[in-house]
Structure 1
Amino acid sequence: MISVPTRAIRPACPPFPGATPAEPGTPADFVVVGVPYGSPYRMSGVHSDAANAPAKFRERAATRFAEHGNRYDFALGGTMLGDTGCTLIDVGDLDGDPRDIDGNGRAATAFLAGIVSRGGVPLVLGGDDSVPILLARAFEAASPRVNVLQIDAHIDFADVVGGIDDGYSSPVRRIREMPWIGQIVQVGARGTGSATPQDLTDAVAAGNLLFPAASVHQNGIETVLEAMDTTLPWLITLDVDGLDPTIAPGTSCPLPGGLSYLQAETLLSAFGDRHRLAAIDVVEHFPGLDIRDTTSLTLARLLATLIGRSARQKGSR
C-alpha cells in the first residue's frame, strides 16, 4: 500500500472574502483551501509563481472585497450566501515538501477527499494546471460520479511530456481515464499550445465536448449550458488563461480572444442555477505577472458569483 504523507496547513491570512477562518476538518458547505504544489516538469516549477497564487490572491482580493460578504451583490440579488443557511470557511494552504513531489500530491488528494466525505464543496486555489488531477482523484470514493467542466485556452490532453504524465499539459487526459468521471465539457480553447492534432483527435474520440472560444463568441454561452448533463454534480477547473487577458493578465500563457468577464460570469451564474457544484479549482494564476491586481479581482468576483448561486440552489434542495 502506498503511504499517504501529511502536510502542514498554513492559515489563510487574510481569508477569502466572506469566508470564516477555520481549522482543517471543520464541516462546512463550502471550503476554501490552497493547493500550491502540483507536478512540475522541471526544477524551476517546484515553486513557480503559481505556487504564490493562493496567498497573493487572498491578499489582493481582501484589499477590495474583505467586507463584501455581507454587502448587497447585484450579481446575486442579495448578499453572497443570502438566507441559504450555507457556511463558507477558509482552512488555509497545504504546505509542501520540495523533496517529495508525489507525496505532496497524495497528501493534497487525501485532504480534499476528506472535505468531500464530510459533504463539503472544495474551492481549491492552485497552483499550476496539474492540480485538477489531484482534485479529481479526491472523488474516487464519492457517490454519485462527477462531470467536469474545463475553462481553458488549451485542451490539456497531452499524454506524456518529458517523461511526466501528470503535469500541466495532461490533466484532462488523466481525468478522462478515471472511471468515476462522467461527461467532460471543455470551453475556451484557442490559438496553439502543447496539443498535437492527435491529442485533439483523442479528446474528441474519448467523448469530450469541445466549445472553442470562437464558438462561444459566435453562438453564445447558452450553447454550452444546453449541452451539459443535469443528472450528476460538476467539478469545474478554471485555468486563468481561459479568460481573456484584458480581464486576467496574470498568467503564464495569455492568449487573445478568451472568455470575456460577462461570458464567464454568465456561464458560472447559470451553472449555479441549473447544476450541482461538486468542486472548483482555479489554476495557473501567476500573481507576479498581474497588472493592478486585475486577475485577482476578476477571480474574486467570479468565485463569489458561483458560490452565491450554488448556495442558493443548495439551500433550496
Structure 2
Amino acid sequence: MSSLVEVAKAAGVSVSTASRVLNGSDHPISAATKARVIATAERLGYSPSALARALVSRSSRLLGVLVSDIMNPYFSVIARGVDDVASRAGYATMLSNVDRRTTTEINRLQTMRDYRAAGVIFAGSGHVDDPHEPELAKAVRQAREQGIRTVSLTMRGLGCPTVTADSRTAAYDITDHLVSLGHRRIAFIEGPPGMIATRQRREGFLACMSDADLAESAQCLPGGFDYESGHAAALRLIARPPLPDAILAANDEAAVGALNALRQARIDVPGEISVAGIDDLRVARFVGLTTVSLPLYEMGAMAARHIIDGGPDEATTTILSHRLIPRETTARRSDR
C-alpha cells in the first residue's frame, strides 16, 4: 500500500494538501484538487476516508438511524430492517441513541449533515406538545435542502415522509380481543409519560373499552417501556385486590415484567388473569405472550428503500398493517 507522501507526489500537491483532502478537513481546497487527490489515492491503493469522498460528492453512502432508547429491542428490529436494505445497496448504517430528547435529535441530525449522510431515519416516538418540535422541523428542512433525505417512523409533524404502524388501532384491537374473551375489568400499563406512542396506545385502549360500554372498568396505571416498569405496576395491582380480569401493557417488555411479577406471586396466568402486550418482539414468542405484531422490520426496510431509491420527499404518510397474535397468556374468562 502506498504512503501519503507517494500519493501527494503523484497528485502534484503538498503532503499537507493531500492530508487535508483525505482526512476531510474544512480547509479551502478546490473541488478539482480534491478529486485529483482522491483518484490518485485510489489508483495507488491508498484508502481515503469516507468523509473525504463525501466532501467531493457532497453525499456519502451513510444512513443515520436515531432511536429513543438503544437498549429497547423494538429499535433493534427496526435497525435490522434498515441495515439489511442498506447493506445490499452498498450503504452503511449508523445507529445513534437520543435518550428520548428532541434536543439530542437536533444535535445528531447536525452530525449526520457534517458526515454528508444520504439520509436520516427518525425511529423514536417523539413527545406530545413538544416545545422543541419546531426547531427540529427546521433542522429537518435544512437537511433536506442540503440533499439529505429524512423519514420519520412516527407521525410527528417534521415535514418529511412517514412510514409507520397504527399504534392506536393496534391497542384497540388487542383490547377488543381481551373483551371478546369475556374480560371486563382490564388494567392498562402505560408507556413513558408524554410520549406520542404512549398517548396513541392509551387512546386505543380507552376507545375500545368505551365502545364496549366498559369505560368504568378501565384502569390506567403509570408505567414505561421496560421490564421493571411492568413488574412494578403489576406489584401495585397485586397489593390492592381484587385483581383485574386482564392486564394489557403498552409494549411487550412491560407485559413480560408484569407476567413475571404475577408468576412470582403464584398467580395463575391465564387461569386467574390474562396478560397481553404490543409489538411482538422476540421475548414475546419465548414466553408465549399474546400480543399485536407491529411491522417494525418492514418499517425500517421501507424507510431505507425510500432514502436509497430517491422516492417522493413530500410529507406523505404510509401506514403498514398489524396483526393479532393470540398465545398462551390469555384465555377465556372463567367465572370466579
Fold similarity call, TM over 0.5: no
TM-score normalised by the chain length of structure 2: 0.30
**Which has the higher Rg, Structure 1 or Structure 2?**
2
Structure with a larger share of its residues in helix: 2
Structure possessing the higher relative contact order (Cα contacts under 8 Å, 6 or more residues apart): 1
TM-score normalised by the chain length of structure 1: 0.31
